[in-house]
Amino acid sequence: MLLTELAKSCRALSCRVEENAPMAHFTSFKIGGPADLLVTAPDAKAAGEVLALCRERELPVLFLGNGTNMLVSDEGVRGVVLRLAGDTTAELACRDGVISCPAGLPLKVLCRFARDNGLAGLEFAYGIPGTVGGAVFMNAGAYGGQIADVLCSARALYPDGSVREVALPEMKLGYRRSVFMEEKAVVVSAVVRLTPDDPQAVTARMEEFLRRRREKQPLEYPSAGSFFKRPEGYFAGALIEESGLKGFTVGGAQVSEKHAGFVINRGGATCADVRSLASRVQEKVLRDHGVELEPEVRFIG
């Protein structure tokens, strides 16, 4: 009854609501049991109101972007999974190399928008799955670049329902981390500053990075990207490969034969499969190399 009433209230706020939503449909790993309620808010104001409704009812809330850096439990998620709409360029604003964009915008769409406006600086991000908000949340990066290099500021929704402007120095951006993780806040918009450049030159760099991704990464299978963080002084994929674990399989989960830093869903993998595989990889690498691998992927539920 509590969730039914909440669903009705969320719909009154122009939110899309799905009950018992299979999280496998909303994560790049294609793994995860049902969420009690999946609520998609049209904007930050509506999201704040949904958060207040959940707080009144003492219901847990999980913020969701594109689900590209998480592994959801087979039992699913209790309470509310809340995400922001924003999958078009309609809300984008560009002036003098500065782009303001909603957090729900796919990162690849922002990259193309920058290219079409003759702006460079985001080429490294072309092909990174996920949304702008998720990229800021974890300071996403690749090929020597990271979001911190181009970010100016962001607006975030905090657990108390407040929306605050956060300047770059306050974000505490580091390797796959930010202040938003510490404070359990969700990014609702971001501002990036880019450099004018020839669109054809920008396109060439984007396509080169995409070609390298396709050559070296198992993009044909569901995954959460690089599963482990890069240990200081090492590369996780190289350590895993040197331990003879390329192709190592537990159930439907496998260490990719193409890139050992990726754990892939070969078909029908469960969260339990992935967690068991990851644990055994960590044990073997620690035994062989004395290095503790730390997951980059967030475990949910």
* Tens digits of residue pLDDT in 236-267: 999 999 999 999 999 999 999 999 999 999 99
The pLDDT of residue 143:
87
Could you tell me which CATH number the domain at 93-214 has?
Answer: 3.30.465.10
Return the bridge partners of 32, or none: none
Q: What is the pLDDT of residue 299?
A: 95
Region 232-239 average pLDDT: 95
% of the chain residues with pLDDT over 70: 98
pLDDT exceeds cutoff 80 at 81: yes
Contact yes or no for 253/30 (Cβ under 8 A): no
Give the sheet arrangement for strand 151-157, strand by strand.
Answer: 93-95, 98-102, 186-193, 151-157, 163-167
In CATH terms, 219-300 corresponds, of 3.40.50.720, 3.90.78.10, 3.30.1330.60, 1.20.140.10, to 3.90.78.10
Residue 88 binned pLDDT confidence (cut-offs 50, 70, 90): low
Check pLDDT > 70 for residue 230: yes
176 is catalytic: yes
| Across 208-221, average pLDDT | 91
Distance CA 262, CA 279 (A): 14
Please provide the DSSP assignment of 123-149 as one string: GGGTT--SBHHHHHHTT-EETTEEGGG
CB 23 within 8 A of CB 76: yes
Q: Is 226 a catalytic residue?
A: yes
pLDDT value at position 64?
87
The yes-or-no verdict on residue 33 having pLDDT over 90 is yes
Query: Which of 178, 189, 223, 226 is an active site residue?
Result: 226
Find tokens 């003492």 and name the residue. Answer: 58
Q: Which of 131-145, 189-203, 264-278 has the lowest mean pLDDT?
A: 131-145
Computed over every residue of the chain, the mean pLDDT equals: 92
pLDDT band at residue 176 using 50, 70 and 90 as cut-offs: confident
Intervals of CATH 3.30.43.10 along the chain: 2-84
Give residue 66's pLDDT.
Answer: 80
Name the E strands within 43-123.
61-64, 70-72, 77-84, 93-95, 98-102, 119-120
Asked if residue 206 lies in contact with residue 115, where contact means CB atoms within 8 angstroms, the answer is yes
- Which pLDDT value is given to residue 123? 96
Residue 89: which pLDDT band, with cuts at 50, 70 and 90? low
- In the set 83, 155, 176, 230, the catalytic residue is 176
pTM of the model: 0.85
Q: Stretch 290-295: mean pLDDT, rounded?
A: 96
Q: Is 63 helix (H, G, I), strand (E, B) or coil?
A: strand
Which residues lie across from 141 on neighbouring strands?
A: 146
Q: Cite the residue boundaries of each domain of the chain with CATH code 3.30.465.10.
A: 93-214
- Token output for 230: 């890069």
Which span out of 79-88, 117-126, 136-145 was modeled with the highest average pLDDT? Answer: 117-126
**Distance set, CA 151 to CA 83, 132, 148, 186, 252 (Å):** 22, 11, 5, 16, 38
* Cα gap 30→115, rounded to integer Å: 30
pLDDT at position 109 over 60: yes
More confident residue, 184 or 1: 184
- pLDDT for res 17: 96
pLDDT at position 91 is 67
Mean pLDDT of 188-208: 95
- 117 closest CA partner among 184, 175, 58, 194: 194
Given a cut of 70, whether residue 1 has pLDDT beyond it is no
Fold category of 2-84 in CATH: 3.30.43
Q: Which long-range contacts (CB under 8 A, 24 or more apart) does 135-138 make?
A: 135/107, 136/103, 136/171, 136/178, 136/180, 136/187, 136/190, 137/65, 137/178, 137/180, 137/181, 137/186, 137/187, 138/69, 138/176, 138/177, 138/178, 138/181
Q: What is the DSSP string of 209-276?
A: HHHHHHHHS-TTS-EEEE-BPPPTTS-HHHHHHHTT-TT-EETTEEE-SS-TTEEEE-SS--HHHHHH
- Looking at the chain, the domain(s) classified CATH 3.90.78.10 span 219-300
**Cα radius of gyration (the chain):** 20
